[in-house]
Amino acid sequence: MLPHQAPSEIVFPVSVASTQDPCVFRYDHGPVKLKAPRRRGRPLGSTKKPKPKESPTRASGDTQDGADYHFIHMAGGGSSSTNSKPGKISDETRATIRKHAMNNYVHRKRKTASEIKQPHALSPVHQINDVDPFDAFPVKLEPYMLDLLKYYMTTIWKEFYTIENYTSFNPMSDYCLTLAFGDSALMHLLIGCAGSYASRMGHMQEQAIPGTHMYRTLTIMKTRIATMQSVTDETIAVVATLAYVEKIKGSYNNWRIHMGGLKRLVDLRGGLHSLESKPIIMSKIFRADLCGSVDALEIPFFSCYYLPPPSSCATNSSQNKSPIATAGFRTLDRILMLDERIKHCVDCLDEASHLIASLMENRKDYAAAAKIRFLVTKSQYQLLSTEKYSHPMHELCRLVLLLFAESLVNPSPPHLPLCDLLLAKFRDLWKDSTDNNNDDNDDDNNNICCATINGQQFALPLDFKLWAMFVAASTVSAPNHALMEWYLRSIADIASLMTIGCMEVDTWRYGMMRKHSGVGAKSHVIYN
């Protein structure tokens, strides 16, 4: 009888030409057996589960339902069908209580027929509901703040950057918003400005939101200026914007206070020449400076940056006396003998108006947009730095050029009161010149705004008067109906002197304004 041999396995090499011997694996104690996975939980048919005892009625075939129900004394007195001792609940009673409680729970979870027929809705997607989940912004943003910032970056900026809007370049989203995400004061200020503009336009009902954010901005800036070591770009931008906001609100005293502080901050920074690499910051400074200076006809705080030295100014005026580019102002110059500074501003504004017309056709010319802004700003600083002319006609020309510059860089009509005080002064000067040149008994209005040169009286061209009135009317803010009514009445009077009707006035107005059919925008043309 052969001895019992252990099982073995032989592994041969795969290659036929291999010289290796096959490997033999022996199992002396038999193959290794793995235990099956253990099933957890109570197994079926477990003897630990108590079997329900059948009542004698069920065993005898009685199927009456009333035999399964009996009263239970919850205080521990047992049930009516058992003889349990008072003060203790038997195991059978406890099992009955749990059984009925579970049946009631399952019954309440059942859906009605109408609920079963409804289609199953998808479960809501879990998402981050917090605006700033990582707390990375300087201000704890709320949803309404995000809405106001979006409103500012998509709509409001077009009101303040009309020239840049032609090129689709948004300085607010490309530059200012980046600064705001790193500065709490600027962030509160942008939200407050957006809320104030939305309230003015009737797009928001909450009136307390702008004031709250403005107060937080002032609180932060008060602490910062008291403890600052150096002047940052964000600080200059905040103070310049605050000055602009105060002017729009009509508070000139607060505007002067902010501008005085801004002038000192810029001087501490090293002057405007140190900010030449920051054109957006300089634009904010000039905008804040001009918004109040133009309306009040005051010398701007930063006029020295755009004005040449007096010596070079005298040299240029004596050597370069080139004629005005526009034919209309050349005719006016022969009547009034205009000042050289007014002539220079006329040429600058005429070039700016032509650049705007070309910019509407080529919207990618960013250099043209920057040059327009430079020409208009330079003209405004020169006109404001010029002393008031003694001759009323020269002063009228200075004021109408200021209004024309405003019409180039602001929408028409503006939604904000940008130069209503200037418009009122222009109206008063027009009335005074009319009263001084008209006889009391003469009903002929042909002498409106006449010029007296060397004892001789010259009447200004009627088309110049009509152009000046149209320019002034286009800069009246929408809510100011009193000024608009006076200018419209004056336009009608001048049109009657020119013997043109309403339809011809509209034709003349459209001739004064360049209309671009592809864009739908209009740009004013200087008197020509």
Confidence at residue 302, expressed as pLDDT on a 0 to 100 scale: 92
CA distance 384 to 341: 11
Q: Would you call the peptide bond into 138 cis, given omega within 30 degrees of 0 as the criterion?
A: no
Residue 456's Cβ-count burial label (10 Å; 0-12, 13-18, 19+) is exposed
- Cβ atoms 242, 189 nearer than 8 A: yes
What does the DSSP 8-state code read for residue 22?
Answer: P
- Residue 522 has phi, psi (to 5 degrees) of -130, 145
Cα-Cα-Cα-Cα torsion 174, 175, 181, 182, nearest 10 degrees, comes to 150
Amino acid identity for residue 452 in this structure: T
Confidence at residue 210, expressed as pLDDT on a 0 to 100 scale: 86
Polymer length of the chain:
528
Confidence at residue 443, expressed as pLDDT on a 0 to 100 scale: 43
Q: What is the pLDDT of residues 28-47, one digit of tens each?
A: 666 555 455 677 776 666 66
pTM of the model: 0.68
Write out residues in the chain with pLDDT < 50, as ranges.
Answer: 1, 34, 57-61, 63-64, 66, 78-80, 121-128, 309-319, 439-448, 512-522
Confidence at residue 3, expressed as pLDDT on a 0 to 100 scale: 57
Confidence at residue 122, expressed as pLDDT on a 0 to 100 scale: 45
CB atoms within 10 A of CB 244: 23
Distance of CA 35 to the CA centre of its chain: 71
Confidence at residue 1, expressed as pLDDT on a 0 to 100 scale: 47
- Cα separation of the two ends of the chain: 133
Question: Measured on CA atoms in the order 290, 243, 267, 272, is the torsion positive or negative?
Answer: negative
- Cβ atoms 490, 482 nearer than 8 A: no
- Residue 19 has phi, psi (to 5 degrees) of -100, 0
Confidence at residue 381, expressed as pLDDT on a 0 to 100 scale: 94
Amino acid identity for residue 378 in this structure: K
Confidence at residue 520, expressed as pLDDT on a 0 to 100 scale: 38
